[in-house]
Each structure stands twice: as structure tokens, then as C-alpha cells.
Amino acid sequence: MARIAVGGFQHETNTFASLPATLADFQAPDAWPGLVRGAELFDAVRGINLPAAGFIDEARAEGSPLIPLAWCAAQPSGRVAREAFESISQMLLEDLAAASSLDAVYLDLHGAMVAEHVDDADGELLARVRRLVGRDVRIVASLDFHANVSPRMVEIADALIGYRTYPHVDMADTGARAFVLLREVLQRPCPVRLRRSLPFLIPLTSQCTLLEPMRSLMEQAEQPNPAGVASLGFFPGFPAADVAECGPSVVAFGHDPRAVERAVGSLHAAVLGQEAAFGLELAGVEEAVELARQHDGRPGHPLILADTQDNPGAGGNADTTTLLKALVAADIPGTLAGVLWDPEAAARAHAAGEGAWVDLALGARSAFPGETPLAARYRVERLGDGKFTGTGPFYRGGRFELGPMALLSLGGARIVVATRKQQAADQAMFRHVGAEPAEATVLMLKSSVHFRADFGPMAGRVVLVEAPGPNPADPARLPFTRLPPAMRLRPGAARLR
């Protein structure tokens, strides 16, 4: 049986976001485990919808001996601090160097990591691993759907495989598929590899695979591989990254140059052919509040307002207040909002206790320009320690540690606050403090797309709201400087410059 080393280092970097990802950010648990090293990796990821978990389960079912390395992930944010990238890379390499007679290395990567000193951080990490293990050890990595796959990554890895869903409900499945691919590559290495980039960026909210055109495009990508092709993937990319590698790509590995060329060419042409079908429908704040006023208020099918531009799953800080203030002013009974990142408010609520009234300047902690706190007297409805398990299809099995949390009320609105920021993509984040999302009439969520996995089925209607925030829904509004000149900043947009 092949001896396989398993590790991971995941970060989705919004190079426009102000806060960097520090070593402490990778060490702290959130919905996913904090930095783990060695055998504790197995227990840390067990049962969670994570690629490493799916890979480990599949490998163990086959009886493959696994050598655990370091694994970590941090919330999307600005560039990864130099110290964090170097320390974590060093851990992975030290653990690899200590492992003897390896046949293969599996890495659970994101593919859109940018460090302070390295634009293509995933490519750099793969290069260091390759230098250490040499040409005869196979390297396979799984990548996020939002990977900005670089030519270097494709050149260095023996194969790459990506998620096929957004919301990412198939992360563990992708890990299992990575094991199957690795087994194949161990028997028969792939001499042929091809990466073809697309000439336009795709907004995050237009990448949802529950909607067209992505649903059909991913169906095409999921067809069984033709003979001579070992893996084929469409990576829509993470647009908020001012690096040369930013953008969607189609990537394949295989044995037959013509089969690989045909597969990549056909999927690439299909994406190009759908350029005009990628919509970007956003409501302004006033329009959103008007829709909330008109929503019929029957429980069981809330109007969901996605505060996408402050999504902490894409580099936002979950603390802007413009949409929240407008909803509070409208005073619509049954409004539920979350999850707001405000450690001070959570601490004050805990100090005051359940049932107490407390004066708070809520939100706007990260000082995004133009944002101010929502200062008011709030009632502390419920408190929580922030420790609970994810129950939705995306955060399934995640052992959350969000620090002290509280459910606050203000007029007709209830607001969930947490000490650590986390995208509102699981109903457990609300139920933990006694709020039942399905009973809300209006549900404001700090999320772009991932919320649809757990909240979509109950939604009466979903509206993406363009309230101010650090993660513009339209990439054409980002001040890029390093993209190739031919790159269109959104589907159908004029060329860059």
C-alpha cells in the first residue's frame, strides 16, 4: 500500500481587504479547527465537510498508511502575513522531511492564497514541497472552487482537483475524489497537463451552482472523464485578488494530449459561450427595505437579504451597519439579522446578563469608511458560549468556536453577535442563541452564496443587497493594477485598459 503524507493550508485572500491573516488567525479555531499538527489532524477534521476529512476517510477505507502533517485554515482576509506563510510552510516541510519512504503527498489547499511577499502562495508552497520530496513522489492537491489556479501550480503538481459546488457542499467529497485520483496517478502518472484561462472575472454571486449558467456548466464539468483524461475542472476563481493569476480557468491532467486538449477546449468554449448569461442582480438598500416592508410576513418563508458586500467569507468583517440600520428604522416585526462581528458588544451583553438592557454602539469595529455603529439601548435576549456544531450542508460537522455570542433585540429586530467573525451560512449559528431562522419574516445574512445551502430551501425570496462593504459584488469596481490587460472585469464588461 502506498504511504501518503496528508496536510493542508487553506486561505482565500482578498488582496483589497485591510486586515492581514496572521499566524494567530490560523491557530484559532472558528467553524473549522485551528492549526493542528501530527496525529491530532485525524480527530480534528473527522466528520467535518472538509477535503482533508474526505481524503482521510477514503484512504483509510482502502487501508493506505497515512502520515499526518500540519493542517490549518483561516478566514478570508487580506494577504497572509509573511511570518504566517513562512512558519506554516516550514511546519509542513519539517513534517514531510521527517516522514520516511513516502509514495505521495496530498495537500488540502485553497488555491487563492496570496502572501505579503508571494503572489502565488499556493504555487510557491507546492514548489517547496516538490523540491523536498523530489520528482518520484506524487503530489496531488484538492483546491477550492474559488482557486485562482496558476500555471506554476499546474506545472508542479501531479494532479489537481476542485470542488464542483458553490455553496461548497462537496468539500469532503472532493477530498475522497482526490484520493481516487491520487491512487490512479500512483499507478499511472499524468504526463499531460493543460490550463486555459478565461478572459473575464466572474462575480461571486454569479458563481452559484444552484443557478444558471453555472448549474449547466458544472454539469458539463462533472461528466465522466473521457479516456486519456484523469481530471478535468472548471475553477471560476476568486475575483478580489489583484494578482496576475486571478481569474477563472479550466484545468486538466491526463495521458492523451488530444483527449486533454479536447476536454479543456470544450469546457472552455462552453464557459465562453455563456458569458452573456452571467447576471449580477443587486438591490439597493432602499429597495431592499421596501421589499421587506411588502413581504407578507407569514412565518416559514422569510425574505432573505444577503448583505453580500460585507461577507466575512470573502474578506468582509461582518460589522457594517447600513442595511441593518435601515431595517431597524423600518421596524418590521420578525426581523432577524446576523451574524455581526462585535467582540465588545458580546462581552458587554455577557457582563449584563440575559434579560438586561444595555447601551451599545453596535458594529462598525473595522472602521470601513462611512460606516458608524448602531448606538441604542438593546435587550439581551440570550447568551451563548459560541461552541456548537454545524448542521447545514456546508458547515456540516464543523465544531464552531465563535467566542461569547448574544442575541440582542431592538424594536422589531433581533440581532445575533459573535466574538469571532464567521459567514452566516448555517442555521445553528442562530439557534445557538435561541433564534429560529424559519420563524423570521425578514432574515439579513452576512453571506454571499454559502447561505443558500442551509437557508435557501426555507426562503420565500432571496435578494442580494448592495449595501456598502469592503467586498464589492461587482469586481469591475475594484482598483486592479496587476491583471493581464485583456481581462474583462466582469462578464460582458469592456476590456481593462
Give me the residues that bind Zn ion (CB under 5 A), please: 144-146
- Rounded distance, CA 339 to CA 404, Å? 12
Least Cα distance to 456 among 472, 469, 443 occurs for 443
Q: Closest separation between CB of residue 65 and Zn ion, Å? A: 31
In sequence order, which residues have a C-beta less than 8 Å from that of residue 224 and are 6 or more positions away? none
Considering beta carbons, is residue 240 or 407 the nearer one to Zn ion? Answer: 240
- Rounded distance, CA 82 to CA 221, Å? 36
Q: Closest separation between CB of residue 450 and Zn ion, Å? A: 8
Q: Closest separation between CB of residue 21 and Zn ion, Å? A: 15
Asked whether the beta carbons of 9 and 126 are under 8 A apart, the reply is no
Q: To which H or E segment does residue 197 belong?
A: strand 192-197
Considering beta carbons, is residue 144 or 401 the nearer one to Zn ion? Answer: 144
Q: Closest separation between CB of residue 171 and Zn ion, Å? A: 9
Least Cα distance to 246 among 212, 293, 197 occurs for 197
Considering beta carbons, is residue 165 or 366 the nearer one to Zn ion? Answer: 165
Asked whether the beta carbons of 90 and 123 are under 8 A apart, the reply is no
Q: At what angle do helices 51-61 and 171-187 cross, to 10 degrees?
A: 50
Closest residue to Zn ion: CB criterion: 146
Angle at 172 between CA 176 and CA 201, to 5 degrees: 105
* DSSP3 helix / strand / coil % (the chain, rounded to 5): 30, 25, 45
Considering beta carbons, is residue 38 or 397 the nearer one to Zn ion? Answer: 397
Question: Please, what's the largest Cα pairwise distance for the chain?
Answer: 70
Whether residue 250 has a cis bond before it, omega within 30° of 0 = no
In sequence order, which residues have a C-beta less than 8 Å from that of residue 144 and are 6 or more positions away? 10, 12, 109, 110, 111, 112, 162, 163, 168, 238
Considering beta carbons, is residue 145 or 200 the nearer one to Zn ion? Answer: 145
Q: Closest separation between CB of residue 237 and Zn ion, Å? A: 10
Q: Is 328 helix (H, G, I), strand (E, B) or coil?
A: helix
Q: Closest separation between CB of residue 342 and Zn ion, Å? A: 25
Q: For residue 99, which amino acid is it?
A: A
Considering beta carbons, is residue 145 or 455 the nearer one to Zn ion? Answer: 145
Q: Closest separation between CB of residue 207 and Zn ion, Å? A: 9
Q: Closest separation between CB of residue 114 and Zn ion, Å? A: 15
